[in-house]
Every structure is written in structure tokens, then in C-alpha cells.
Amino acid sequence: MLNNTIIFLRHAEIKVDSSKPISKWTLTDKGINVAKRLSEIEIFQDIDYIFSSYEEKAILTAENINYKLKLPIIKDKALNELNRDLGPKLTKEEYFSTVRICFNDLKRSVKKWEKPVKAIKRFIKKIDEIDKKYLDKKILIVSHGLIINLFFSWKTNNLESLFERWKSNSFLNYGIIQNNKIVKDIKK
């Protein structure tokens, strides 16, 4: 499992818009510019494959990192964040509160969000599929803070303090797994 180098990148800075479902929040101009500058960092210059969730914020992040590489971006819903679209529209404060409750009980649906345990199983399955399909490649996965932190917590066998782990991240933080070993955790 995980024979490739896989970079898990959290999308760029978003505009919180409580009039829209969370999955429809998009990037700020600053987020777009910073994502484009990220492409100048050596680790992002020799990517073989780019995968993205279907959410616009992840796709735009991938496109802006990819503007020099010009690789096809492979979109996959299994890389999406926890599904939050059945729940109510939220302010930033309400979002943080919901995340805290969500991470305290991974088997529970909060505000009609996808159960974290279901989301992480979906994500792990997709990462395993991607890893088995390629050999010794450098793969960029552009996704979301909740699901990536769940994944790294699962990899470290430490599902405690998920909310604090997630809060320690900022937009465009990334973690790296190489040959099934964490060489850079997304956690700060």
C-alpha cells in the first residue's frame, strides 16, 4: 500500500458565504494567487498526476498549481470533503462548532453531514485504488481539511484531538506520504 509519493494538499483560502452550501464556497483572490505561487516550490514542480475532489475550491486550487505543468486534473468525488450539503447553511462560527461536534463522535451525523467514519472509509478506499494503479509516481491529491486530517489521524492511529489537529492547519498546508510512511504530516 502507498508505494508512490503522495502529496495531500488542502485547498486554498475560501470566501465564507453563509448564503450558499459549504461545498459551494469558493476561493478568495488571495487564495488563487497563493496557490499559483505554490507551483514555484520544488515539491510541486515534478508531479506526475493531479487528482482533485469535485468541489470547486479544490479544482481551482489544482488548476492554479497546474498552470505550468499542464497535466490533466483527474476529478473524483471520493476525494470530496465530508458531504455537508444536506445540512443547513452555516456561518463561520457555526461551521467551527459543527466540526468540533462532528470530530467528537465519528459515527454520528451532525446537522445531516456525512458521518466522518463513512467519509474516511471512502477516502481511504480511493487512495488505495490510486496507489495500486501507479508505481513510483509523484501524485498530488487536492482535497479538504477535514478529510485530510481524518486520513492522517488514521495513518498515525491517533483519532484523538481531531478538532485541534484540524485547527492547527491553514489553507494550502500539505502532508506527504512516501512508500506508505508519513514524511511530512499536515499537522503543524
Q: Residue 130 is part of a domain; what is its CATH number? A: 3.40.50.1240
Give the cell for residue 23.
Answer: 461545498
Whether 19 has a pLDDT exceeding 90, the answer reads no
Collect all residues with Cβ–Cβ distance below 8 Å to 9 and sequence separation of at least 6.
61, 65, 140, 141, 142, 143, 172, 173, 174
**The pLDDT value given to residue 2:** 61
Whether 11 has a pLDDT exceeding 60, the answer reads yes
Total structural domains in the chain?
Answer: 1
**The pLDDT value given to residue 99:** 95
Residues present in the chain in total: 188
**The pLDDT value given to residue 91:** 85
For residue 52, the surrounding DSSP H or E stretch is: strand 49-52
Per residue in 124-147, pLDDT tens?
A: 999 999 999 999 999 999 999 999
Residue 49 dihedral angles phi and psi, to the nearest 5°: -140, 145
Which amino acid makes up residue 173?
N
Average pLDDT of 89-112?
Answer: 92
| Secondary structure class of 117 (helix, strand, coil) | helix
Parent domain of 110: 5-184
2 or 99: which leads in pLDDT:
99
**The pLDDT value given to residue 1:** 53
Cβ-in-10-Å burial (0-12, 13-18, 19+) of 162 comes to buried
Residues above pLDDT 70, as percent of the chain: 98
